[in-house]
């Protein structure tokens, strides 16, 4: 089910990397230098245009206001940082800021992670076309001067013991003056100017490959995967584009990232709008490959989510056996010692009497849903809020599902009986013969099984409706879901759902996922505030103000996935408010 969330994760990576380009990746500046073994490619063809759009986003405006507000202006560390920036600006003769860099000093950029140089760790190569040579050379001069001062001051303080100190030197690489800063932990930065470009790399070999001018043996833009993925996305009206080799990235530099393995090659294209970012992402990974039961089709569990959920995921191509096999592979690849999936399944069955592989998985169909629709304070038990949560699954085998349901009911009745006895102080012969029991009631014309626990907000309930099994920790949550089922007023009626569905067109739907940061914060912050301790503490106050003033401007992050030519394509949108 990880693919339902991966689309938003890919977009978050693209946004965090600060990328943009109004032309195709093949036409990005310095595209001829991108080798086929590149892990990540990020291009900016017009940095001024990109930055003007980014700084107009509501979240960017809120961030600037937060930095200018009293919380940060009174922070001693931030005051020291501002003083340092002022000194650098004075030395440069212009403002030391990202805005000035992207709007004036350079006019395009290409970042390549990995590729071009064989190394144990991924290489980092940044090429920036120079717009103002005088400002660029001044930036090099001031940076070099301050690094030299830093190294000298550290050496003076250490006396003769200089083995564990950072080193700085000036050298010549392929006829280009290069400045090399190396820290004791092995971290390196090499920078310089060549061919009207400001160049930065994380090693001397990586810098040398940039200034040598030799084209790679095979260009990324000539590879089939690049052409296939970028050809499936509309690049013509995009503001940013990214290419990821997720397969290689998952194991590069000695890393093991099972969540990215089999993710294939991915291309992303998107636009920065006045109040949102929207994107298309295509990956060569086919979710249906290796599945014995799943097939693309309509999503059936949208009624579980309200039109304005906190979190909603409707995954329409679930294959339980494939998921278990993937978990086994992930645990093996991650070398998770002490975590043996089969032993865990056996332990679960011995404790509950429920067989995951023989009973639960065969009972489940292709569509599963998770919806967190609301959180409310619980006055009787503040630490446990009342949760409007709905889980659902399409039923493939009614007999096996009924077996699972019967066993689950028995387990819950046993658990609540024990809790009831403890709450009433009953033991031994005084213990009640039985605790609360599941009963049947009619809701919206559906037979609902529910149990009254006596605990606020906790009345586990479930029902089978139109071949779909729905459960909720509260009767109210299930009643609301069934009411949405009858009325049709669910998440599928929301503007963002319909916008993404419209962009997807007639392509077979795979999933829909949505997370609304603003709604989550609005629900959670009042409940956790009493447990934050001294809110006058500078660090606590700083964190709270950032959440309330900046993060609250992030609204829905949503995506819908479809299948196109054997590839997974995601339509993504992040709204700001």
Positive or negative: CA dihedral 324, 329, 334, 339: positive
Mean local confidence (pLDDT), 106-126: 78
The C-alpha atoms of residue 482 and residue 386 are separated, in whole angstroms, by 19
H, E, C per residue of 115-152: CCCCCCCCCEEEEEEECCHHHHHHHHHHHHHHHHHHHH
pLDDT tens readout for residues 1-36: 444 434 434 334 433 443 333 334 445 557 778 888
Q: Which of 104-108, 157-161, 429-433 has the lowest mean pLDDT?
A: 429-433
Q: Which of 279-283, 385-389, 538-542 has the lowest mean pLDDT?
A: 538-542
Pairing type for strands 167-173 and 176-182 reads antiparallel
- The CA-based angle 165-112-246, given to 5 degrees, is 110
Higher pLDDT, residue 191 or 122: 191
The conformation of residue 568, written as its DSSP 8-state character, comes to E
Mean local confidence (pLDDT), 239-254: 75
Q: Which of 148-152, 283-287, 309-313, 355-359 has the lowest mean pLDDT?
A: 283-287
Mean local confidence (pLDDT), 244-264: 63
pTM, whole model, 2 decimals? 0.85
Q: What is the pLDDT of residue 329?
A: 75
Q: How does DSSP assign 532-546, residue by residue?
A: S--TTSHHHHHHHHH
Q: What is the pLDDT of residue 236?
A: 67
Q: Give the distance from CA 258 to its chain's centroid.
A: 15
Q: What is the pLDDT of residue 29?
A: 59
* Contact between residue 19 and residue 241 where contact means Cβ atoms under 8 Å apart: yes
* Residue 343 binned pLDDT confidence (cut-offs 50, 70, 90): confident
Higher pLDDT, residue 213 or 463: 463
Going from the C-alpha of 407 to that of each of 349, 356, 393, 452, the distances in angstroms are 11, 12, 17, 18
The conformation of residue 214, written as its DSSP 8-state character, comes to P
């Amino acid at each position: 089910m990880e693919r339902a969330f991966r689309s938003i994760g890919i977009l978050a990576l693209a946004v965090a990397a600060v990328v943009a380009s109004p032309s195709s990746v093949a036409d990005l500046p310095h595209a001829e230098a991108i080798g086929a073994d590149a892990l990540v490619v990020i291009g900016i063809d017009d940095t001024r245009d990109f930055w003007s759009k980014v700084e107009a986003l509501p979240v960017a405006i809120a961030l600037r206001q937060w930095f200018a507000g009293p919380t940060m202006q009174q922070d001693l560390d931030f005051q020291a940082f501002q003083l340092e920036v002022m000194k650098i600006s004075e030395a440069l003769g212009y403002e030391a800021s990202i805005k000035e860099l992207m709007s004036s000093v350079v006019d395009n950029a290409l970042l390549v992670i990995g590729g071009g140089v064989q190394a144990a760790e991924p290489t980092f190569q940044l090429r920036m076309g120079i717009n103002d040579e005088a400002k660029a050379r001044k930036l090099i001069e001031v940076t070099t001067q301050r690094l030299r001062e830093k190294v000298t001051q550290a050496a003076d303080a250490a006396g003769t013991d200089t083995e564990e100190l950072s080193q700085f030197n000036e050298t010549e690489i392929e006829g280009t003056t290069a400045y090399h800063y190396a820290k004791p932990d092995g971290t390196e930065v090499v920078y310089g100017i060549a061919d009207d470009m400001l160049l930065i790399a994380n090693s001397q070999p990586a810098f040398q490959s940039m200034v040598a001018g030799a084209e790679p043996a095979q260009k990324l833009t000539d590879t089939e995967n690049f052409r296939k993925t970028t050809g499936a996305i509309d690049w013509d009206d995009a503001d940013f584009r990214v290419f990821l080799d997720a397969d290689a990235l998952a194991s590069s530099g000695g890393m093991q990232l099972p969540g990215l393995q089999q993710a294939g090659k991915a291309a992303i294209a998107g636009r920065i709008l006045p109040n949102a970012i929207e994107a298309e992402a295509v990956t060569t990974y086919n979710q249906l490959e290796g599945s014995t039961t799943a097939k693309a089709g309509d999503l059936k569990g949208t009624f579980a989510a309200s039109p304005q959920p906190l979190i909603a995921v409707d995954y329409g191509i679930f294959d339980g056996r494939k998921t278990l096999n993937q978990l086994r592979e992930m645990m093996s690849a991650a070398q998770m010692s002490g975590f043996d999936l089969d032993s865990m399944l056996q332990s679960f069955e011995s404790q509950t009497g429920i067989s995951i592989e023989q009973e639960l998985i065969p009972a489940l169909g292709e569509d599963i849903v998770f919806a967190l629709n609301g959180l409310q304070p619980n006055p009787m038990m503040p630490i446990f809020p009342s949760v409007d949560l709905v889980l659902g699954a399409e039923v493939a085998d009614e007999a096996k599902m009924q077996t699972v349901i019967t066993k689950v009911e028995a387990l819950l009745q046993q658990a609540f009986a024990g809790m009831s006895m403890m709450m009433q102080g009953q033991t031994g012969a005084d213990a009640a013969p039985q605790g609360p029991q599941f009963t049947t009631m009619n809701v919206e014309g559906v037979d609902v099984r529910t149990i009254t626990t006596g605990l606020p907000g906790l009345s586990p309930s479930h029902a089978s409706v139109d071949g779909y099994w729905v459960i909720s920790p509260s009767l109210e949550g299930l009643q609301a879901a069934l009411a949405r089922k009858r009325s049709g007023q669910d998440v599928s009626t929301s503007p963002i759902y319909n916008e993404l569905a419209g962009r997807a067109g007639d392509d077979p739907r795979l999933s829909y996922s949505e997370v609304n940061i603003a709604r989550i914060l609005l629900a959670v912050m009042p409940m956790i505030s009493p447990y934050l301790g001294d809110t006058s503490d500078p660090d606590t106050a700083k964190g709270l103000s950032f959440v309330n003033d900046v993060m609250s401007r992030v609204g829905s992050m949503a995506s819908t996935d479809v299948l196109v030519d054997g590839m997974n394509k995601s339509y993504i949108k992040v709204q700001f408010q």
